[in-house]
Amino acid sequence: MKIAVLPGDGIGTEIVAEAVKVLNVLDLDFEMETAPVGGAAYEAHGHPLPESTLNLAKQADAILFGAVGDWKYDKLDRPLRPEQAILGLRKHLGLFANFRPAICYEQLTHASSLKPELVAGLDILIIRELTGDIYFGQPRGRRTATDGHFPGAEEAFDTMRYSRPEIERIAHVAFQAARKRSKRVTSVDKANVLETFQFWKDVVTEVGREYPDVELDHMYVDNAAMQLVKAPKRFDVVVTGNMFGDILSDEAAMLTGSIGMLPSASLNAQNQGLYEPSHGSAPDIAGQGVANPLATILSAAMMLRFSLDQPEAADRIESAVRQVLAQGLRTADIHSEGTTQVGTRDMGDAVVAAITKTTIKS
């Protein structure tokens, strides 16, 4: 098994170092190779996703990714900006299924912006289609309007589109994921207004007939946004398109308190995947040793489960994270009265210690 390690920029290097430390203590048989990506790769090779990094990613079974981006690159031409590296990896590896769990840990319910009783025990899995929809649909651009409310005016436009196979494959991913959980899927659409999402709804319904053991319901995206803050525990697996998923997964992330706790996975049809925390490179705290490494450590656990077929090792990491939270250890972003504030490295060390202790006991 080969893991491509792409730390990236800002806190990326600090948090990935902790995840690598955790992976190493598991004593599994895999090879890890590191390469620059994002701004770091632009500095070293003049491109955010150099050929050598892309080739490493293609050959690997899984990619452990930190984060990319820094304000200082905002003036570069768009194709050279660090964030383009993620889009490039998604495109070249065909990573069409994005998994974003939103789990509210018992010890962190107070960090949520919602009342504790609404989020205690929350465990949602948002599955977002990642390579289609209005983000990629052609044509797009700027032109002079020939019709509409202001003919002759300058206008911009994008194209929302989904093909049947694109919807079918993400629907299968969602139903299969639900089978491993509480067998409920909510498909989010805007079928009342958009042709694309009436089609989405029809195709998801058809695919759902192949999974009679999984309960399927449909919800309009505006209602889903409302229900996520009103009664988030009503959801289990949520499947939706690229744009709605982008927005709803960030909303769900906030229900759990800190973005520093949330892992994510993007998979292709061969289960090859890119695993990264849901947050960015946090330039405001980079280099200070205060970033929360748990989202990245939990992303490594997802990698073991989904791409490397090591579910027991994934369980060990997740249980070690619960243990360090139970011990009262917190990085600054999740710190509260009565808990012990620790830095990035100490948090990584505590997870390693919890894993080692469990290993010795068992």
DSSP 118-186: HHTT-EEEEEEE-S-GGGT-SS-EEEE-SSSSSTTSEEEE------HHHHHHHHHHHHHHHHTTTSEEE
Q: Which residues pair with 218 in a beta bridge?
A: 187
Judge whether 102 and 258 are in contact, CB under 8 Å. Answer: no
Cα–Cα distance between 310 and 58 in angstroms, integer? 21
Active-site choice (123, 202, 246, 349): 246
Looking at beta carbons only, is 67 or 238 nearer to ligand NAD? 67
* Least spacing, CB of residue 231 vs ligand NAD, in Å: 26
Cα–Cα distance between 223 and 219 in angstroms, integer? 7
42 labelled catalytic: no
348 is in an annotated binding site: no
Looking at beta carbons only, is 111 or 320 nearer to ligand NAD? 111
292 is in an annotated binding site: yes
Active-site choice (133, 162, 190, 211): 190
Looking at beta carbons only, is 5 or 295 nearer to ligand NAD? 295
Judge whether 207 and 185 are in contact, CB under 8 Å. Answer: no
* Least spacing, CB of residue 272 vs ligand NAD, in Å: 18
281 is in an annotated binding site: yes
Active-site choice (2, 21, 123, 135): 135
Place of tokens 């609404």: 118
289 is in an annotated binding site: yes
Cα–Cα distance between 173 and 287 in angstroms, integer? 38
66 is in an annotated binding site: no
The two three-digit tokens of residue 361, written as one number: 């006991």
DSSP 47-94: SSS-HHHHHHHHHSSEEEEEE---GGGTTS-GGGSTTHHHHHHHHHHT
Cβ atoms within 10 Å of 112's Cβ, excluding its own: 19
288 is in an annotated binding site: yes
247 is in an annotated binding site: no
Length of the chain: 362
91 labelled catalytic: no
Looking at beta carbons only, is 318 or 333 nearer to ligand NAD? 333
Active-site choice (58, 72, 217, 222): 222
* Least spacing, CB of residue 60 vs ligand NAD, in Å: 18
* Least spacing, CB of residue 8 vs ligand NAD, in Å: 6
Interface positions with ligand NAD (CB under 6 A): 11, 15, 67-70, 83, 86, 259-260, 276, 279-285, 291-292, 295, 333
Phi/psi at 343 (nearest 5 deg)? -90, 180
246 labelled catalytic: yes
* Least spacing, CB of residue 335 vs ligand NAD, in Å: 10
Instruction: Using alpha carbons, select from 239, 200, 235, 301 the residue that is nearest to residue 98.
Output: 239
Binding residues for NAD(+): 280-292
Residues assigned a catalytic role: 135, 190, 222, 246, 250
Binding residues: 90, 100, 128, 222, 246, 250, 280-292
